[in-house]
């Protein structure tokens, strides 16, 4: 045979293998990197995964502040139905009944579905993922560490700026009973271990028993919203402030990143009344900073860094002596351990007062809180 079979141009239409029918074929759409945008400009693009009922409420609170890389996962469809966020995944039928093992098993069976769900919910461009959970429930406590491991995979795959995953853990009230407090003890101990191993940072605690003493007259309905807004609002304030210029002294993104990478951290806020008197100013900062942190039981003298924001109305900042502010900042170097770093920022705000906002990092695990939960859980 003289015809060269390698010369395809020699073949006419009569030599085709098959005649295709006239039918619609979908076009190939090449998608670019999926990016979800928050509803504000800030220093960092954070993502939040809410696990369980308490974690879902925390994630919902961040969503209300404008964070759009947000989702919730639960073993109970009823708990998910009450959340006003678009991305929700149920991995059970009737909840976990405070049983961490059931939730952990359910997540193991749905791990790949969860991975795809998280990716669809938070996109491919983010700086850090935070897992929010209630430490005393079954769904949140049972899945928090497995979800942390999945979040690490996502961060590694999509080039996040850190390999450490953040955890925001809500601790129960005393009145919630032995089982819930026992769950919280085991969960908090595991997460502290993950901090020591360099897997989790930051660990942020929201102590609901402490919140009930800070807001003793709150009715049942607004209590949880207030507790969640306290931590989400402070977190958001620091993220927003780190991305803004100051006419006085700036708290920059690298300052905040250093704190978020320091392990166990706590937030707090303290209004300053008598800012004219330096002694009264210093005493207020010293006492209220310790009293207004969102969790008890931490030894502040073990902290190695802090972010301190002084935000006041323009009229206040036009009158408060600089030495009074310097004296207040110095209180933090006295509170923290030797050689600590205090990142400071002074900003004008839209309210006619002066408030100190704090985040203290590099803290050692709270043995006092662990012992309290162990006792309450009758372990």
Question: DSSP string spanning 233-286?
Answer: HHHHHHHHHTTS--SSB---HHHHHHHHTSSEEEEEEEEES--SSHHHHHHHHH
Banded model confidence at residue 8, pLDDT cuts 50, 70, 90: very low
Mean pLDDT check: name the lowest of 292-296, 310-314, 353-357: 292-296
Most confidently modeled range among 209-218, 258-267, 285-294: 258-267
Query: 263-363: which CATH topology?
Result: 60s Ribosomal Protein L30; Chain: A; (3.30.1330)
Backbone angles phi, psi at 234, to 5 degrees: -65, -45
Q: What is the pLDDT of residue 14?
A: 56
- Percent of the chain exceeding pLDDT 70 equals 92
Q: What is the pLDDT of residue 33?
A: 55
pLDDT digits (tens, 9 = 90+) for 126-179: 999 999 999 998 899 999 999 999 999 999 999 888 999 999 999 999 989 999
Selected from 3.10.20.30, 1.20.120.420, 3.20.190.10, 3.40.50.1440, the CATH number assigned to the domain covering 46-242 reads: 3.40.50.1440
Domain ranges of the chain: 46-242, 263-363
pTM score of the predicted model: 0.89
Mapping DSSP to helix (H, G, I), strand (E, B) and coil, where does residue 342 land?
strand
Banded model confidence at residue 17, pLDDT cuts 50, 70, 90: low
Four-point Cα dihedral 352, 256, 214, 133, nearest 10: 140
108 has pLDDT over 50: yes
Q: What is the pLDDT of residue 98?
A: 84
CA–centroid distance for 120 within its chain = 19
Here the tokens at position 330 are 């110095």
235 has pLDDT over 60: yes
Mapping DSSP to helix (H, G, I), strand (E, B) and coil, where does residue 364 land?
coil
Kindly report the average pLDDT of the chain as a whole number.
89
Closest by CA position to 61, among listed 132, 124, 125: 132
In angstroms, the Cα distances linking 290 to 116, 267, 284, 359 are 42, 10, 10, 11
Residue range 313-329: average pLDDT? 90
Q: What is the pLDDT of residue 364?
A: 97
Mapping DSSP to helix (H, G, I), strand (E, B) and coil, where does residue 371 land?
helix
Banded model confidence at residue 345, pLDDT cuts 50, 70, 90: very high
Banded model confidence at residue 96, pLDDT cuts 50, 70, 90: confident
């Amino acid at each position: 045979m003289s015809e060269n079979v390698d010369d395809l141009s020699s073949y006419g239409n009569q030599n085709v293998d098959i005649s295709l029918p006239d039918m619609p074929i979908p076009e190939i759409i090449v998608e670019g990197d999926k990016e979800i945008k928050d509803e504000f400009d800030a220093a960092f693009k954070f993502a939040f995964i809410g696990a369980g009922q308490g974690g879902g409420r925390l994630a919902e609170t961040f969503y209300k502040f404008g964070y759009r890389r947000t989702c919730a996962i639960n073993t109970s469809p009823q708990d998910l139905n009450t959340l006003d966020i678009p991305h929700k995944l149920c991995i059970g039928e009737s909840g976990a009944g405070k049983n961490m093992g059931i939730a952990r098993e359910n997540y193991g069976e749905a791990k790949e579905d969860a991975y795809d769900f998280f990716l669809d919910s938070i996109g491919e461009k983010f700086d850090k993922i935070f897992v929010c959970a209630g430490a005393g429930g079954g769904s949140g406590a049972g899945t928090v560490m497995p979800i942390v491991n999945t979040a690490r995979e996502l961060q590694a795959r999509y080039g996040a700026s850190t390999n450490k995953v953040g955890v925001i853990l809500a601790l129960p009230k005393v009145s919630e009973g032995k089982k819930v407090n026992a769950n919280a003890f085991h969960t908090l101990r595991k997460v502290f271990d993950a901090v020591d191993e360099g897997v989790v940072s930051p660990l942020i605690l929201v102590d609901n028993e402490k919140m009930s003493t800070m807001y003793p007259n709150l009715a049942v309905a607004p209590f949880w919203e207030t507790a969640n807004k306290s931590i989400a609002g402070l977190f958001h304030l620091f993220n927003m402030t780190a991305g803004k210029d100051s006419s006085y002294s700036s708290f920059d993104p690298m300052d905040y990143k250093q704190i978020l990478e320091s392990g166990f951290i706590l937030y707090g806020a303290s209004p300053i009344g008598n800012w004219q008197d330096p002694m009264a100013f210093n005493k207020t900062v010293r006492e209220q900073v310790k009293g207004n942190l969102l969790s008890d039981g931490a030894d502040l003298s073990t902290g190695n860094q802090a972010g301190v924001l002084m935000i006041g109305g323009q009229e206040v900042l036009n009158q408060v002596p600089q030495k009074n502010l310097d004296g207040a900042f110095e209180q933090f170097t006295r509170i923290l351990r030797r050689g600590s770093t205090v990142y400071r920022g002074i900003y004008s705000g839209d309210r006619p007062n002066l408030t100190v906002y704090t985040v203290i990092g590099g803290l050692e695990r709270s043995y006092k809180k662990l012992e309290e939960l162990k006792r309450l859980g009758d372990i």
